[in-house]
């Protein structure tokens, strides 16, 4: 996907649409964080995220982004038998891991996935606990996720 928006907004007689079109053309669309002309971290269509100057994201925007990300993770995982055969709680664990690690990072847990394919949750949990990921995210998160993976329940 390109960041160019030239010609994306159709000509219109609606003043608001004309204004937005001009603003988008002048600001540009940046899908990844960048530093603006004053050095402030920004994203999207001129959204300054820098704590010193910007407004950041609203709580609603944070949840909008999260919901989109979770929907994407569920969609990415839906085609895998080791995901689709799990109960909802274990699917949530896999979605959380996909969200945290990306699909490629999750797929690197080959022995955990093999254990999930045969519903061997103890081995799957052991594989998660004995990983670099477990040292990076902290004990409480590891304990929460592995409990859900082992039992199929939330605490």
**Domain parsing of the chain, residue ranges:** 1-56, 65-151
What confidence tens digit (pLDDT) does each residue in 40-55 have? 999 999 999 999 897 8
State both tokens at 94: 């896999």
CA distance 78 to 99: 14
State both tokens at 14: 């609606």
CA distance 20 to 26: 10
The pTM assigned to this predicted structure is 0.84
What confidence tens digit (pLDDT) does each residue in 4-39 have? 555 556 667 889 999 999 889 988 999 999 999 899
DSSP state of 153: S
CATH of the domain spanning 65-151: 1.10.530.40
């Amino acid at each position: 996907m390109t960041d160019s928006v030239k010609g994306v907004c159709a000509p219109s007689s609606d003043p608001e649409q004309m204004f937005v079109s001009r603003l988008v053309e002048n600001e540009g669309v940046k899908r990844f964080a960048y530093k603006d002309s004053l050095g402030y971290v920004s994203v999207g269509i001129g959204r300054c995220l820098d704590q010193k100057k910007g407004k950041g994201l609203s709580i609603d925007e944070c949840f909008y982004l999260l919901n989109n990300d979770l929907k994407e993770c569920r969609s990415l995982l839906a085609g895998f038998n080791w995901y689709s055969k799990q109960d909802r709680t274990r699917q949530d664990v896999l979605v959380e891991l996909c969200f945290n690690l990306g699909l490629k990072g999750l797929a690197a847990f080959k022995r955990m996935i093999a254990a999930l394919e045969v519903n061997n949750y103890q081995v799957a949990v052991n594989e998660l606990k004995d990983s670099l990921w477990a040292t990076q995210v902290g004990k409480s998160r590891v304990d929460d996720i592995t409990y859900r993976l082992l039992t199929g329940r939330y605490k």
